[in-house]
Every structure is written in C-alpha cells, then in structure tokens.
Amino acid sequence: MDTTLLSRLSDFEWRIEAHGKMRVPAILYASEELIRDMDNKVYEQIVNVATLPGIQKAAYAMPDAHWGYGFPIGGVAAFDPQEGGVVSAGGVGFDISCGVRTLLTGIKAAALTPLKQSLADALYHHIPAGVGSTGRLNLDDQQLDEMLLNGAQWALKLGYGREADLDRTEERGCMAGARSEAVSEFAKKRQRREMGTLGSGNHYLEVQHVVGIHDEAAARAFGLATDDIVVSIHCGSRGLGHQIGTDFLREMVLQAPHYGIDLPDRELACAPIESPLGETYLGAMRAAINCALANRQIITHLVRQAFADVIPEADLSVLYDVSHNTCKVEEHTVDGHLKRVFIHRKGATRAFGPGHPAIPEALRTIGQPVLIGGTMGTASYILVGMPESESRSFSSSCHGAGRQMSRHQATKHWRGRQLIDELAGRGIIIRSPSSRGVAEEAPGAYKDVTAVVEVAEKAGLSRRVARLEPLICIKG
Amino acid sequence: MGSTRGEQQAQEAVKARWEHYAHGADIGVRGIGRSTAEAFEQAAVALAGVITDPSRVEAREEVMIKCEAPDPEVLLVDWLNALVYEMAVRRMILARFQVNIEGNQLHGRAWGEDTDVARHEPAVEVKGATYTDLFVGQNSSGAWVAQCVVDV
C-alpha cells in the first residue's frame, strides 16, 4: 500500500481521513513493513466500507488485513440502526462464524512423542476432512431446525460433549435470534450430511505444543504451560453458511437500489438493519453461527474419541471457542456514549478486555482468549483482550497470518508431497486427502504470523499469552 | 445489431478456453468463447479446475440446471453457484458443460461423476462465486469473456 495516502498516528496506527463519500475515517493497525506489503485493494475496500450508511467512529483494518470481497478480510465496522445502519452479507463473508476452538489435553509433549503417528492416524480416521466428505449424521428437517436454533447446546443433547464445554464457548454455544425459516431449503440441504466435518481450504485441525509463554498470569488462568499439548480446530458453518452467504449476497445486490443504497462495489451488498431483508439475513446468519458452533462441538467429541483410542489418560477440555466472521450486537462507546451497534468482524476476532460480562467467569478478570491460527508449518498464538482494545477497534484483533500469495502462485512454488516430507523432517505430521490442497496452503504463502501478533500487541488490540507450534495437522 | 465481417472473423478465430487468475486469498475463474454461452461453459470448466484437473473427471452422470437473472453478470454468478450447490449436495464433480442462454434465462447441462478422492485428489471445495471482478462481455479481439472470483 502506498503510505503517502495515509497519515501515520503512531508506529502501528495509520489513518485515512474521511474524503469523498466516506462518512468516517478509516484506521489501519500495522507496522510500516506490514502496511507496505498490504494490497492497495485493502485501501480501496476499507474506504468503501467507510461510505456505508450508519457506520460508527471508523472503519478498521487489522494487521493481517488482505483483499477480500467488499470488506477487506481483517475488516471491522460497527453500524447503528438508529442512524440507518446496515448489515452486509459481504461484511460477514461466505464462511459465517468460521472460528477457532482450542482444547487443553492435560498431557505433555514427551508423552505424545511415541504415539504421534498413531494419534495422527486416529484423528484422520475420526474426523471427516476434505472435499465431498460427510459426517456420520444425516439430519432430517426437524433436527436441522433444532440445530439451527440451539447450536452447540443441540450437539450436547445428542451426547457430543459436556456441559463445561459450553462455559468456554462464545454465546454459551447458542446464538440468540436465529431463525431457521430464514434459511433457504438449498442451504439446509447442503448441510444435512456435513455436521462434524472440517471442510477444506484453510481449515484444519492441529495438535500443537506450547513452546513459549509471554504472559505467565494469563497463561496460568488459561491453563497453559510450556510443553503442554493442545488441539486447535479451525472451521466454520460449512455448506450451510456458504449457501446463506450466496443467497443473501444476491438478494442484497438486487435490492440495494430499492433501499436507496448506492454501492461503490456490488460485493459490499447490504440492507438496512431495520428492514425485512436485513432482519431476515440476521436471523439466517445467526442460524449459521449456531451451525458453526454445533460443528466445532461435534468435532470436539470426535477429537476426544481419537485421543481415547490412543492416549486414554488425556482429558480434553475446551479452553475457548471464538469466531472471526460474524455480525453481532454489542454495546460500545462512541463519542462518549454507550451505544448498541451491529459490529461486523470479517476475518477479525472479538477481543474483550478484562471484566467484560461476556467472558467466562473463570477468565473474566484476565480477559477474553483470542485464538490466532498460523499455518501448518508455523506458530499459532493465544492472545488475550486488553482494556485498550475497546477504544482501539471496538474490542477486535487479528485472526491469523493472512495470505500473501494466491493459491495459484502457491501451486507453482510448492508441491504437496515435497512439503509434507519437509514438514515431516521438522517433526510435523500432515494428513490430507489432497496434495494440491497442501501446496495451496503452503506456510510460505502466508504472512509471518509472529509479525502480525506482535503488531496486534503493540497496537493495543490484544496481548500475547502463549506461542504454539504444530505437531500434527489434519488438513481438509 | 449484426456484427461486421471483421468481428465475425475475429470471433471465428477465438478458441474456447478457460483459465485461472490470481486474487489475493482466492482464485479467479475465466471462460473465453465465441458466444456468452460458450464463455459460460468455459467458466464452469475453470470452476471445476479449482477443485481438480477437469480431464480427470468422467462424464458419467448428467445434471440439468436452470437459472434466471436480471443481467448477464448476475446470471454468471447464479450459474456458477448452481454448480457449486449441485456438486456439494450430490458429492459430485461436474466438469463438462453445455449452456443455452435466451434473454434472462439459462438452461445448462452438466456432466460429471461422484467425487473420488483417490483419483480426483480434490484440492479445495468452492464456497461460492462472488461479485468480485465480475465481468461478462467482449474483449478487444471480439471474444466473449465470463469471469469472477470464487471463494474457496
């Protein structure tokens, strides 16, 4: 990105003054290096977001921002319905409620070493991954509706997991305001056999070990210590969410003129929050959040089964589950007033600071865990929301490394088989049905996640707690 | 409006083909042909190419598709999304296509087979076709182009 277009507020904060049709300024959190590497399209897209009706305070780009659809990935924007605010299907994305769930295992790296291959096999056996894979459930209409309304709580009723899992899941596993009748039959049909599946692309399940602690007190509260084995699950609402995204993006594109919304880019398609289309989308999107929460809950159960087969002494508990593609109603301070706003986080993680009532009680004095996925060859991080994150970015942080190279380029640079062998040499076992899929997700195709989280910390978005490195990666 | 002899010759020289192009985190699909319909057919092959090598897919089963949209660009997104949907619910890969477009309506036929992980090695599933970089029209040499970015 051309830095002459920006004013620099600090080492890690850049501002685009409101100009043209922008209703608010845009703020980008990045180091000079990250901002120079950022696509110019991020500039264009964040400026476009700032033109949308009812936007509050500023449009934000996180340190891992990259070119998305309408909204940049790594974009955060809040809208006030009282001021004609909008909800945007493109501002949430196709993979509604994609997120990360991290599980503690109670075992140390040394105990896993002799069993690593067996655990990789067991996980790959238990968890359906990749294109065309199906789960063991085949939901009928009634079960689908119950799942869409009750999320992970529905999964628990079927025996997938424990009550304590819900305490550590955003919204206690059930997003209120979901409307199953707002979800098309197409979306439902696409989901029938996809519960408990990982998907493909950048989705994965990793067994990781804790290699570094940055914040002892927070790590202790989160139950993390050096050499601990943890499991991180990265996936979303599967076919259902993709179809809801598809359905409503089209509707919003076609109805924008009817609502008098002048779209600078069709992909920004949105509808007033207080309109029939806006309300229907919100109902469907919340149903997709429940689908994602149920999906990660079922996968948690499958991970427990795999561990029970190989390391029966392991006891898997949920550290936290947080999504990074959502639109949620939250209270935030705007111009000194507490306001109820609809906050879009697209490729951005909610990061509530200490004391927020939405944080599980046991962690409330510390702050909300922020789970950041890396790549199959690099570190992942657990961060924690800071008091400052509220004024910086409506309590939001980055979500991952962010791609720096297209899939197309990646397949020209790497071969899947060769990557798998190289990673094996470093002690990382990859299990995937597709070697091209592995090449497309090559670690080198992503930005340096360590640089991204360092900036997130220095910019006051969230603070590093622990660094994790992969040992086993199940890749869809 | 009829096309001039020069345009007709240029179009006859067009070879129907498909290609991918880079887009940040995802991938662009582009079909090129002598007509909108042919460009749509080729864009669909490009879509299959995101998932696997289309030449690995046998035409064992046929799926019929109908779409209707207010303009050709939305029609392209609808066509590709209809294929994404059919492939997802049928657990098939569709890789051969025949398209007829009349006014706002598209009638398509698609051929393919059940996803076979060992033989197809599917790289990634497509979540949906997007309105990003969406274009349906003629390029400077008279060929019809149909393209957009797909989210994977």
Whichever domain contains A92, its CATH number is 3.90.1860.10
Domain boundaries, chain B: 16-151
The residue in chain A having the minimum alpha-carbon distance to the alpha carbon of residue B125 is: A131
Per-residue pLDDT tens for A184-239?
A: 999 999 999 999 999 988 899 999 999 999 999 999 999 999 999 999 999 999 99
Whether pLDDT at A83 is above 70: yes
Distance from B9 to chain A by nearest Cα, in Å?
33
User: Up-side HSE of residue A185: CA atoms within 13 Å toward CB?
Assistant: 0
Whether pLDDT at B37 is above 70: yes
Q: In B, which residues are within 8 Å of A134 by CB distance? A: 91
Average per-residue pLDDT in chain A? 95
Instruction: Please give the tally of structural domains in chain A.
Output: 1
Task: State the pLDDT at residue B24.
Answer: 72
Distance CA B106, CA B39 (A): 13
Distance from B29 to chain A by nearest Cα, in Å?
11
Angstrom CA distances, B124 to A157, B84, B107, B119, B150, stand at 32, 12, 27, 14, 11
The residue in chain A having the minimum alpha-carbon distance to the alpha carbon of residue B149 is: A69
Tell me how crowded residue A313 is: count the other CB atoms within 10 A of its CB: 10
Q: Is residue A437 part of a domain?
A: no
User: Could you tell me if A128 lies within 8 Å of chain B, comparing CB atoms?
Assistant: no
Of A93, A239, A406, the CB nearest to B22: A406
Task: State the pLDDT at residue A271.
Answer: 97
Ranges A254-263, A347-356, B3-12, B132-141: which has the least confidence: B3-12
If we measure between CA atoms, which residue out of A136, A187, A127, A182 comes closest to residue B89? A187
Length reported for chain A? 476
User: Could you tell me if A134 lies within 8 Å of chain B, comparing CB atoms?
Assistant: yes
ipTM for the whole complex: 0.90
Structure tokens that stand for A384 in this block: 């924690």
Q: Is residue A436 part of a domain?
A: no
Q: Which long-range CB contacts under 8 A does A176-179 form with residues at least 24 apart?
A: A176/A286, A177/A282, A177/A283, A177/A286, A178/A148, A178/A149, A178/A151, A178/A283, A178/A286, A178/A287, A178/A289, A178/A290, A179/A280, A179/A283, A179/A284, A179/A286, A179/A287
Distance CA B116, CA B110 (A): 18
Distance from B7 to chain A by nearest Cα, in Å?
31
- Mapping DSSP to helix (H, G, I), strand (E, B) and coil, where does residue B28 land? strand
Task: State the pLDDT at residue B22.
Answer: 84
User: Could you tell me if A66 lies within 8 Å of chain B, comparing CB atoms?
Assistant: yes
User: Could you tell me if A354 lies within 8 Å of chain B, comparing CB atoms?
Assistant: no
Q: Is residue A46 part of a domain?
A: yes
Q: Which helix (H) or strand (E) holds A385?
A: strand A380-385
Q: Is residue A428 part of a domain?
A: no
Q: Is residue A76 part of a domain?
A: yes
Whether pLDDT at A438 is above 90: yes
Contact state of B25 with A406 under an 8 Å Cβ cutoff: yes
Q: Which helix (H) or strand (E) holds B99?
A: strand B92-102
Interface test with A, best of B20, B78, B89, B92 (most A CBs within 10 A): B89
Q: Is residue A146 part of a domain?
A: yes
Q: Is residue A352 part of a domain?
A: yes
Q: How confident is the model at residue B12 (pLDDT cuts 50, 70, 90)?
A: low
Instruction: Give the DSSP per-residue string, A407-451.
Output: HHHHHHH--HHHHHHHHHHTT-EEE-S-HHHHHHT-GGGB--HHH
For Cα atoms A311, A317, A320, give the angle at the middle one, nearest 5 degrees: 135
Structure tokens that stand for B16 in this block: 């129907």
- Domain range enclosing A257: 3-404+446-475
Rounding to the nearest 10 degrees, give the CA dihedral for residues A318, A222, A474, A435: 150
| Rounded mean pLDDT, A118-137 | 92
Of A41, A66, A440, the CB nearest to B123: A440
A150 Cβ partners below 8 Å, 6+ apart?
Answer: A157, A174, A290, A294
Whether pLDDT at A134 is above 60: yes
Q: Which residue has the higher pLDDT, A406 or A322?
A: A322
Whether pLDDT at B2 is above 50: no
Whether pLDDT at A180 is above 90: yes
Whether pLDDT at B70 is above 60: yes
Is-contact A462 A384, C-beta < 8 A?
yes
Structure tokens that stand for A198 in this block: 């990982």
Q: Does domain B16-151 have CATH number 3.55.10.10?
A: yes
Contact state of B122 with A253 under an 8 Å Cβ cutoff: no
For Cα atoms A185, A87, A351, give the angle at the middle one, nearest 5 degrees: 105
Q: Which residues of A are catalytic?
A: 399
Whether pLDDT at B10 is above 60: no
User: Could you tell me if A10 lies within 8 Å of chain B, comparing CB atoms?
Assistant: no
Whether pLDDT at A74 is above 80: yes
Contact state of A246 with B20 under an 8 Å Cβ cutoff: no
